[in-house]
Amino acid sequence: MSMTGGVLTAASAMSGAAHLTTSASRGSGDEPPVTIPRDPAREAARRELAKRMYHENDPSLFQRALNAFWEWLGKLLAKAASATPGGSLGLLVVVLCVIAVLAALWWRLGNPRRSPVAAAPLFDERPRTAAGHRAAADAHAAQGHWNQAVQERMRAIVRALEERALLDVRPGRTADEAAAEAGRTLPAHADALHAAARHFDDVTYGGRTADQQTYQRVAQLDSDLERARPTLVTSAAPDGKTG
C-alpha cells in the first residue's frame, strides 16, 4: 500500500470518528440528543488515528530524510540552472568542464604528495652491492616498472659511494641524508643528488608515479658519479699557510 493509501486510510478514520461524533450527538429518535464537547471529540479522533493500523504503510524515518534530501537537491539544482546561462544545459556543461579539469590535474600530478613524518631507511635487511642494485634497476626498467627502477638506482648510487669510501656505511640512512652527506664530498653533483633523493621519496612515500625520463636522470647521475672525484677539504696551518 502506498503512502497515498495510508493518507486516505487516515482520512477515512477521521471521517469515521467525525461520523461517530455526529451520530452520538443526534442520538435516537425518542431520546434527547447527546452533546459531546468539541475537545473530547477531538481527543477521541486523535486516539483513533494513533492506532497502528493506520500507520503500517507510512515511510520510514530514513525514507523521509532521503525524500527531503532529494527535494532539497532538486531545488538547489533548479536554482543553479536558473542562474547559469543556458539553463540546465549550461549547468551540465559547467559540471563537465570542472570534472575534465580535475581529471587532467589528477593525471598530471598524480596522488597528492604526502610528506612522511619519518622517512624509512634507504636499504632493507638484504645487503646488496651497487652492481646488484643496478642490475635490479635495469630489470625493472626493461619491464616499464619505473618506480622500482628509480628506487633501485638510487640505492645503487648510495651503495657505490659507500664502496668507494666516500660515504660511511651506516645502517638506517635515508635517501635525503645520503644526498646531503654526499653533496658535501661531491659539491658539483649536490643538486642532482638532492633531486634523485626527492624522486626516491616521491615514489616510495608520496604516492607519485615515476616515468622513463625520471629514471634516465637518476641513471645518468649514477654514471656521472662513477667518474667523479671528491673535493678534498684542506685545513689551514697555524701560520696561515695551507699544507
pLDDT confidence bin for 180, thresholds 50/70/90:
very high
pLDDT of residue 238: 46
CB of 145 within 8 A of CB of 94? no
- The grid cell for 210 is 615515476
Q: pLDDT of 14-41, one tens digit each?
A: 555 455 444 444 444 555 555 667 777 7
Q: What percent of the chain has pLDDT over 70?
A: 63
- The grid cell for 108 is 598530471
pLDDT of residue 150: 95
> What is the C-alpha to C-alpha distance for residues 83 and 75, in angstroms, rounded to an integer?
12
Helix-strand-coil percent breakdown of the chain, rounded to 5?
Answer: 65, 0, 35
pLDDT of residue 143: 94
For residue 18, the 8-state DSSP code is H
Q: What percent of the chain has pLDDT over 90?
A: 33
Q: pLDDT of 62-108, one tens digit each?
A: 888 888 888 887 777 777 667 666 666 666 767 777 787 777 777 66
pLDDT of residue 221: 95
For residue 118, the 8-state DSSP code is S
pLDDT surpassing 80 at residue 165? yes
| Sign, CA torsion 108/110/115/121 | negative
pLDDT of residue 148: 93
pLDDT surpassing 80 at residue 191? yes
- CB neighbours (10 Å) of residue 176? 16
Nearest Cα neighbor of 151 from 95, 102, 195, 199 is 199
pLDDT of residue 231: 77
